[in-house]
Structure 1
Amino acid sequence: MDTIPKTASASTNSSTDQRNGQTWDTEAYAINGRFVANLASDVVALLAAQAGEHILDLGCGDGVLTEQLAATGAVLTGVDNSSTMLAAARRRNLHVEQHNATALPYHQQFDAVFSNAALHWITGLSGHNSALAGVYRSLRSGGRFVAEMGGHGNIAAIRTALQATLAPFQIDAEAASASFFPSPTLYRRLLETTGFTVQSIELIPRPTPLPTGMESWLNTFRNGVLNRLNVANRATALANTIALLEPMLRDADGNWMADYVRLRFHATK
């Protein structure tokens, strides 16, 4: 039951989040994670971007949604902490900057801040308090913060399976992944404590098809946990996790589903 330290991939297409060892490979993400942007139509509609508005896309990734928002005529600035994701966004001719979400440098520069599937990667209450304070400072008076993230109960079956299969290797999968999936009550409190007025906030169950399967999802979105294992133990953990999940998340035709639950909100300064 050997483990190995978290290390960054040698690929020029990947970078590692030092908080949880999660590696973002742009090619793998484009293949296995494109559904994240494809299923964002409701939160994009809630933002209702207008031509001429200055909008910050927080956690812009490879810029797929940033590009979509810029097509409205809004002036977009994308922010991410992954250098490889930002390189992919720049290939789309987008204006992007590298900053940690907990240390945003902006002051009353934006009419809106938008975020999709990024905030749940910020660790703990203190991290979210810092991020929300930075978003608040970034907005002009009357500006809006529209976001969607993993919410309470998100990927519960997957997380439970990982916890069970990694326990024999002395790995706490929940602690290692360091994800943050809050309830609407908790996140409303964080937003209001920061100074925001919450216009709407809701928890949305969204079972999500995984076109490339569960193993590809695990290797893309939970590699920071799995990379703690040596090659043989990683293969064992993957096989055991998939076996546990198959009765719940794979249908009779062999199609995989992830038990996503999203938290979507609209708050104003």
Structure 2
Amino acid sequence: MKNLNLIEVKGHDVMKKNTWDAKKYGKHAEFVPKLAFPLIELLGEIKGKKILDVGCGDGILTLELVKRGADVTAIDSSPEMVEVSKSKGIKALLKTVTDLHYNYEFDIVFSNAVLHWVPEPEKALKNIANSLKDGGIFVAEFGGKGNIRSIIQAMEQVFEENPEFGEFKNVWYFPDVNEYKELLEKTGFNVEYIELIPRPTPIDDIENWLEIFTNVYTSHLTKNQTKLFRSRVKELLKSRIYTLKNGWVADYVRLRLRALKG
């Protein structure tokens, strides 16, 4: 078996490398859009506004933007998610934020739980800025510094225990406030609000979470190796993020922001 070094996964290919099952996502990861509804309030009045939704997933939040009267174009890197969104009547396109070629087209760019999948943050922000009209609004939330630290540590340990899995390389991008604020300003934004928010998040089972969000790390493994990976990570995390009272609670930390194109 190839000893895959995950550092080979570059650019927006990280998003494409992780495969997304829309049914499993809707069943086991419904917390992703549900917990992001407060993010929409940062947009203010959006009736009649042209909005680009970056990483629409299954379209739950996108539909809320449409219900509030916005003209929404949605993009996602997953063909299945795009088809699910289209089936809901959403104008959805198969694109990633690093593929964008819009110029001065949108009043607002909105993004939830996507930008930590993009290890080229400056390129992403430049494309977002180019997509916005002057004075346009950028509102986003994604994983920030410390996000799922316990889960990552467990994953690293399992790869160390099983050298035949290859080298573990964290492909997620979880910046702190100062780092991302500097990038925003460098790419032409005036930051109105940015905050790192610890948000312990209940999930139904860590193995379901691993199946949905970490197959980018296991795509080169055999079925038996993948089963071992998930069961061992679960075993390690049982004493860290699980209690009989609360069940599984992932150690999420979110970076939330609102910025204006200068």
Q: Same fold (TM over 0.5)?
A: yes
From 38, 46, 69, give the equivalent of 1:50. 46
Q: Please give the residue correspondences for 1:1-269 in structure 2 after superposition, counting only pairs within 5 Å.
A: 18-19=13-14, 21-123=17-119, 127-170=120-163, 171-173=166-168, 175=169, 177-211=170-204, 213-253=205-245, 255-269=247-261
SS at structure 2 position matched to 1:228: coil
Task: After TM superposition, give the deviation of residue 167 of structure 1 in Å.
Answer: 1.7
Aligned identity (percent) is 38
- Relative to structure 1, the CA distance from residue 96 to residue 49 in structure 2 (aligned partners, 3 Å threshold; closer, same or farther) is farther
Matched letter for residue 256 of structure 1: W
Query: Which amino acid is 1:132 matched to?
Result: L
Deviation at 1:5, TM superposition (A): 7.4
Q: Gaps (5+ residues) in structure 2?
A: 6-11
CA contact (8 A) 1:120 1:181 kept: yes
The residue type paired with residue 259 of structure 1 is: D
- Aligned partners of 2:19 and 2:78 also within 8 Å: no
Relative to structure 2, which stretch is displaced further, 162-171 or 200-209?
162-171
Residue 129 of structure 1 aligns to which amino acid in structure 2?
E
Instruction: Give the deviation of 1:233 after TM superposition.
Output: 2.0
After superposition, the C-alpha distances for 1:58-78 in whole angstroms (9 at most, x for unaligned) are 111111110011100011110
Task: Render the CA deviation track for 1:200-245: whole Å, top value 9, x for unaligned.
Answer: 100000000002x111001111112123321222222222111110
**What per-residue deviation string (whole Å, max 9, x for no partner) do you get for residues 113-158 of structure 1?**
00000011102xxx21111111111111111100000000000000
- TM-score, normalised via structure 2 length: 0.91
In 1, Cα distance between the equivalents of 2:13 and 2:97? 14
| Partner-residue secondary structure (3-state), 2:185 | helix
Question: 2:172 is paired with a residue of what secondary structure?
Answer: coil
Matched-pair contact (CA < 8 Å) for 1:61–1:80: yes
Counterpart-to-counterpart distance in 1, 2:217 and 2:49: 39
CA apart distance, 1:41? 1.8
SS in structure 2 at match of 1:65: helix
Greater displacement, 228-237 / 95-104: 228-237
The letter for the 2-side match of 1:260 is Y
Check whether the contact 2:199–2:254 (CA below 8 A) recurs between aligned residues.
Answer: yes
1:254: Cα distance to partner? 6.6
In structure 2, C-alpha distance between the alignment counterparts of 1:190 and 1:78, rounded to whole Å? 24
What is the distance in 2 between the residues matched to 1:250 and 1:96?
Answer: 37
1:82: how far off?
A: 1.3
Q: TM-score, normalised by structure 1?
A: 0.89
Bigger drift between 249-258 and 145-154 goes to 249-258
Partner AA of 1:238 in structure 2: R
